[in-house]
A and B are shown apart, each in its own frame.
Chain A
Amino acid sequence: MEQSNSLAEAPEIISETNLTPLPLVVDVRPLPLVLLAKGYRYIALGLLFALFGLGISQPPPQGLSVEGYKALAVFLLCLSLWVSQLLPLSITSLLALVLVPLFGIMSTKEAYGLFGNEAVFFILGVFILAAAMMRSGLSTRVALFFLERFGSSPRKLIVGILFTGAFLSFWMSEHAVAAMLFPIVLEIAHSLKLHPLKSRYGKALFLSMAWGVIIGGVATFLGGARNPLAVGILRESTGISIGFVEWIIAIFPEVLALGLVAFFLLTRFFKPEIESVDLARENIHKKIEAMGRASLHEYGIAFIMLATIVAWIFLGKQVGLANIAILSVVVLFAVQLVNWKDIEGYVNWGVILMYGGAIALGAALAQSGAANWISDIAIKPWASSVFLAMIAFAGLSIFLTEGISNAAVVAILMPVGLGLADNLGIDPKVMTYAIAMPSGLAFLLPMGTPANALAYSSGFIRIKDVFMYGLLLNIIALVLFALMVKFYWPLIGLKVI
């Protein structure tokens, strides 16, 4: 079997030594379509900005201030860009940051000041801490530790992967956990000689990976940057905040319930066609042996991570979550547990641009009165029941996130949701939970979240597997959320009104 051409080889170039000319492939589509395919992005961007220019030059509608109208125009432009991804998400947020002072919605000092928001630096600190865990191999070691203990039977291995994904996503970005777990699960599938597209157990393995990280990622501020983003917008718009432990207490019952539902679905509908996972256990054991003993380096990072989590829990309110995160990062570098070059490759700095700009835009909408105006005109008339309005927002969040980034969902829905909360007298914290938590539960589509995309790319899962059971999970998640709002939150002092 010949294997020619590697990724490393440059594209074929006609030269004296190459007697085979580059094959000419003619695109046979109609010419206008070809031109449209090549230029649609520029056309779409041009149209969007033209519409924006036209819109923003109009007088504001009744009941809305000039600043509010302009904030709304900027918001709609950014919404279109976030959804279409004609520009990278973080660049759209940067655009928001620039347009807000340019059109006099807010002063330059205030707009840029919001960029340096506490939430942004908390997210940055968390990402660097997670990067340290990944770079040192500590997160992989923890994952293998759990898998070895859970992997004594096919059913237990599914529990192990579900639990490992969820547990790790409590403490670091769920997407990073998915990226780390995927090669391990892939090797498990190969070691068990499971056939792509045919093996039910193979489907269960990858779905348990995806569902575990998705469910775990909503439990704390650490699993998904959308949660601190939502709290950041809440704080800048209302002055109210949600604490680290407060979030966990409010959300955890749903996380636990969803985990149980996921386990039931995986073991009921994907019954394993194999009886033993000994080969997988051997594989995991070999990987653990290959890693060798944990180094002082890993112990050091683990200690700092644990200390940071304890500090967030007990000192979060007094010291500030971002302060603790950044101090921990400083300690990591001070004791040379990490170096800049290593960490740089593991952190995507675009996250700062995305979240900073989104928070500034959210604050602009709130301060200018645009958020209240939207909810007054567009939502309040049909929001006869406060409870139903909240569930509707949760439903909107859970289904929007299938098509667009969950950070974009939060950036879009939070200002509007907080406006409605203000109008109807809903506790803004409750609205924050209703938007942020469901925005992380993208079970439905392969591209809804990186974890799903990875599971689908394994070749074991078809679109209809993801869609069917994902839809079921989405609906169950909404029902559980409604039950939690109605019965559990009042017990912990969280009232809708």
Chain B
Amino acid sequence: MEVAKKKVMLVYAAACHLDKATERALERVRSSGSSLTILFVLDPKAADAVTATLSNSAFIGDKPTDDLKATLLKDYRLRAEAQVEELAVLARSQGIDTMTYIREGEIEKESISLVQELGIDLLIVPRCKRTPLTELVMGSACNRLKINAPCEVLMVDEN
């Protein structure tokens, strides 16, 4: 009886170095004959922090602020596409069956939604180091994913 291939998904939300998480994801996929799904989640609120300083303390008008927000979001998407493509090329060069997605929204909700849609078995989440106090007070998307995802979650510390 053929063992069903496991589906592994690597999810992240910020364009940054993902060396360890990528390595773990590829390792898991190679060892279990899985396929790899790469998901980048674009949070539209990422641009708000920047544009808020323009309108709240720099008193720039709505029109240039909105134009700037659109520019920022377009740039985030381009960077996301470039990074996702880079990872996908690396995976495919190792003979791994790879699919890529870019979605807009909150990382927890979009990840869980795609996990449910595709029947993902393992979710790999890169995690940046934070102090325990920061995690306790601010919460952590990674922790929330670990609790709420309907599949195994592996968190990889990147720094």
Binding site for B on A (CB under 8 A): 1-7, 12, 20, 22-30, 33, 37, 85, 88-90, 127, 131, 134-135, 173, 175-176, 179-180, 182-183, 186, 190, 196-197, 225, 344-348, 350-351, 354, 405-408, 447, 449-450, 453-454, 457-459
Contact = CB atoms under 8 A, between A and B. Distances in A.
A285 B63 CA distance: 26
Interface in B1-56: 15-17, 44, 47, 49-50, 53-56
Interface string B94-122: 00000111111110111011001100000
A183 B71 CA distance: 7
Interface string B52-96: 011111111111110110011101001101001100100000000
Given A7-B73, A20-B117, A450 B60 contact: yes
A1 B113 contact: no
Given A182-B71, A197-B17, A348 B60 contact: yes
A5 B105 contact: yes
A109 B55 CA distance: 30
Contacts of B117: 20
* Residue among B17, B44, B60, B88 facing the most chain A CB atoms (10 A cut-off): B60
A27 B141 CA distance: 9
B145 to A, nearest CB: 8
Contact of A1 (B62, B84, B105, B147): B84
The list of the 8 closest CB pairs from A to B, nearest first, reads: A345-B63, A175-B58, A23-B112, A405-B57, A351-B59, A348-B59, A346-B61, A25-B108
Given A12-B113, A447-B53, A458-B75, 18 more contacts: A1-B81, A1-B84, A3-B101, A3-B103, A7-B73, A24-B148, A27-B144, A29-B139, A30-B136, A173-B58, A225-B59, A345-B62, A346-B61, A405-B56, A406-B57, A407-B57, A450-B57, A457-B72
A408 B117 CA distance: 50
A347 B61 contact: yes
Contacts of B81: 1
Nearest to A186: B75
A28 B143 contact: yes
* Residue among A131, A179, A196 facing the most chain B CB atoms (10 A cut-off): A179
Interface of B: 15-17, 44, 47, 49-50, 53-65, 67-68, 71-73, 75, 78-79, 81, 84-85, 88, 99-106, 108-110, 112-113, 116-117, 136-137, 139, 143-144, 147-148
Contacts of A176: 60, 64
Contacts, number: 141
Contacts of B102: 1-3
B63 A28 contact: no
* Residue among B73, B75, B99, B108 facing the most chain A CB atoms (10 A cut-off): B75
Contacts of A7: 44, 73, 104
Contacts of B68: 179, 182-183, 454
Nearest to B143: A28
Given A85-B56, A348-B55, A6 B64 contact: no
A25 B71 contact: no
A314 B106 CA distance: 56
* Residue among A28, A85, A173 facing the most chain B CB atoms (10 A cut-off): A28
Contacts of B112: 23, 25
B60 A173 contact: yes
Contacts of A25: 106, 108-109, 112, 144, 148
